[in-house]
């Protein structure tokens, strides 16, 4: 595999794990706020990110590429509200979408057909990732006034997310 493509794939493994680390930090915030349903939703998201990283890890190994793991930075730990967390989640997913699209463009530009085919799954997955974050954010924005009852109901709803 082209060296530059290898490097960007290795970067992306780190980015996926860093996404999981950010969501784990958000889960910790929710746990501290006694919002266990929100925390559960984030913990499922952590597993999804790990799965994304592992798909790339396995793909590189299948291609005979040496996986080089990188340092994962400390994620943000303090948040001001539930709404802020989902705004940040959506913004983060948009950033990841842009990274995946760039990786795809690179694979196309150097005619690495297996990499392009492999990345199709991620392109579709990012639509789902952005949709999930948007749906929850839009629901949160509908909560007016004190809103604690609505927040508790949403917490119960998010507790049902399957892994």
- According to CB under 6 A, which one of 52, 115, 116, 158 is a site residue for ligand FEO? 52
In 10 A of CB 122, how many CB atoms?
21
Any idea what the Cα angle at residue 48 is, between residues 41 and 142, rounded to 5°? 35
Is residue 133 within 8 Å of 93, Cβ to Cβ? yes
* CB closer to ligand FEO out of 88 and 143: 88
Please report whether residue 19 would count as binding ligand FEO according to CB under 6 A: yes
Query: What's the burial of 69, exposed, middle or buried (CB within 10 Å: 0-12/13-18/19+)?
Result: exposed
Please report whether residue 132 would count as binding ligand FEO according to CB under 6 A: no
Q: How far is the CB of 132 from ligand FEO (least distance, A)?
A: 9
Q: How far is the CB of 78 from ligand FEO (least distance, A)?
A: 21
Q: Binding residues for ligand FEO, per CB under 6 A? A: 16, 19, 49, 52, 93, 96, 129
């Amino acid at each position: 595999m082209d060296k530059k493509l290898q490097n960007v794939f290795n970067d992306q493994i780190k980015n996926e794990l860093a996404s999981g680390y950010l969501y784990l930090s958000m889960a910790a915030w929710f746990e501290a706020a006694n919002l266990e349903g929100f925390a559960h939703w984030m913990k499922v998201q952590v597993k999804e990110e790990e799965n994304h990283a592992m798909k790339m890890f396995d793909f590189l190994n299948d291609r005979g590429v040496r996986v080089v793991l990188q340092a994962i930075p400390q994620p943000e730990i303090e948040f001001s509200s539930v709404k802020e967390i989902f705004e940040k989640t959506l913004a983060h997913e948009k950033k990841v979408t842009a990274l995946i699209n760039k990786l795809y463009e690179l694979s196309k530009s150097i005619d690495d057909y297996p990499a392009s085919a492999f990345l199709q799954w991620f392109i579709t997955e990012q639509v789902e990732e952005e949709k999930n974050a948007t749906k929850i954010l839009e629901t949160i924005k509908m909560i007016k006034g004190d809103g604690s009852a609505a927040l508790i109901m949403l917490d119960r709803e998010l507790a049902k997310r399957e892994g």
